Amino acid sequence: MTSVLVCVKRVVDSSSEVVLTDDGQAVDGRYAGFTMSAHEECAVELAVQIGDARVVTLGDADAVEQLRAALAVGCTAATHVVADPQTFGPADVARELAAVVREHDHDLVLLGNDAADSGDFQVGIRLAYELGWPVVNGVATVSVQDGTIVADGAGPNGHETYRLPLPAVVTVLEGGVEPRYPTVPGRMKAKKVPIDERQPTAEPAGPGRVRLLLPPPAPSDVQVLGKGAEAAPAVVDLFERLGVLAR
Partner 1 sequence: MATVPASAKVVVIGAGIVGNSLVHHLARLGWRDIVQLDKGPLPNPGGSTGHASNFIFPVDHSREITDLTLDSVRQYQEMGVFTESGGFELARTEERMEELRRRMSSAKAWGIEAELVDPAFVKEKVPFIEEDQFIGAFWTPSVGVVDSLRAGTIMREAALETGALTVVPNVEVTGLDVEDGRIRRVRTDGGDIEAEYVVIACGVWSPKIGDMAGISIPLTPAVHQMISVGPCPQLAEREGEISFPIVRDMDTFCYERQHGADMEVGSYAHRAILHEPEDIPSIEQAKLSPTEMPFTSDDFDPQLEQAYELMPELLGAEGAEMRYAINGLLSLTCDGNPILGESLVKGLWTAAAVWIKEGPGVGRAVAEWMVDGHSEIDVSHSDIARFHPHQMRREHTRLRTTEAFIKTYGIVHPAEQYESDRDQRCSPMHASQAELGAVFFETGGWERPHWYESNAGLLERYGDAVMPREHEWDARWWSPIINAEHLRMREAAGVIDLSAFEVFDIAGPGALETVQTVCVAQCDVPVGKVVYTPVLDPGGGFRSDLTVMRLGDRHFRVVTGAAHGPADRKWFGDHVPADGVTTLTNRTADVVTLGLWGPRSRDILASLTSDDVSDAGFGFLTCRDLQVKGTPVLASRISYVGELGWELYVGADDAAGLWDTLLDAGAAHGAVPVGIGVYGTTGRIEKSYRAFGFELDGERSIVEAGMQRPKVKAADFVGRAAYLAQRESAPETVLCTLVVDDHTSASGIKRYMLGGEPVLTRSGESLTDGHGHHPYVTSAGSAPSLGRHLLLAYLPPSEAVIGNELAVSYMEELYPVTVGSVDATPLLDPTNERIR
Partner 2 sequence: MIVVLVETDLSGAAVEVSREAVTFARSLSDAGGGVPIDAVVVGEPSAALVDQLAAYGVRDVHALTGEAFDSFAGAAWASGVLGVRTAKNAVVVMAAGTPRGNEVMAHVAARAGVAMAANVLSFSGLSPFTVTRQVVGGAALEEMRLADRPAVFTVAGHAVEAAPAAAAGGAHVVVERPDVDPADLVARVVSTQAPEPDLSGSLKSAKVVVGAGRGAGSADGFADLLELTELLDGSLGVSRVVTSLGWRPHHEQVGQTGSRISPDLYIPCGISGAIQHWAGCSSAKAILAINTDAEAPMVTKATYAVIGDLHEVVPAINAEIRRRRAG
Q: Which of residues 155-184 bind partner 1 (CB under 8 A)?
A: 180-184
Nearer to partner 2, 165 or 197 (CB): 165
Partner that binds at residue 34, options partner 1, partner 2, none, CB closer than 5 to 8 Å by kind: partner 1
Q: Is the separation of the CB atoms in 100 and 5 below 8 Å?
A: yes
Q: Of residues 51, 182, 186, 207, which one binds partner 2 by CB under 8 A?
A: 207
DSSP state of 114: S
Nearer to partner 1, 184 or 246 (CB): 184
Instruction: Please tell me whether residue 24 binds partner 1 under the rule CB under 8 A.
Output: no
Min dist CB 91 to partner 1, Å, is 31
Instruction: Please tell me whether residue 147 binds partner 2 under the rule CB under 8 A.
Output: no
State residue 70 phi and psi, 5-degree precision.
Answer: -70, -40
Residues 184-203 that bind partner 1 (CB under 8 A): 184-185, 187-188, 191
Please classify residue 218 by burial: count the beta carbons closer than 10 Å to its beta carbon, then call 0-12 exposed, 13-18 middle and 19+ buried.
Answer: exposed
Q: Of residues 6, 9, 11, 34, which one binds partner 1 by CB under 8 A?
A: 34
Q: Round to whole Å and give the CA distance between 29 and 183.
A: 25
Q: Is the separation of the CB atoms in 6 and 54 below 8 Å?
A: yes
Q: Round to whole Å and give the CA distance between 49 and 179.
A: 10
How many chain residues interact with partner 2 (CB under 8 A)?
A: 75
SS3 (DSSP) at 187: helix
Cα dihedral sign for 199, 29, 20, 138?
A: positive
Q: Round to whole Å and give the CA distance between 140 and 45.
A: 11
Min dist CB 61 to partner 2, Å, is 23
Instruction: Please tell me whether residue 31 binds partner 1 under the rule CB under 8 A.
Output: yes
Positions that interact with partner 1 (CB under 8 A): 13, 15-17, 19, 29-34, 65, 68-69, 180-185, 187-188, 191
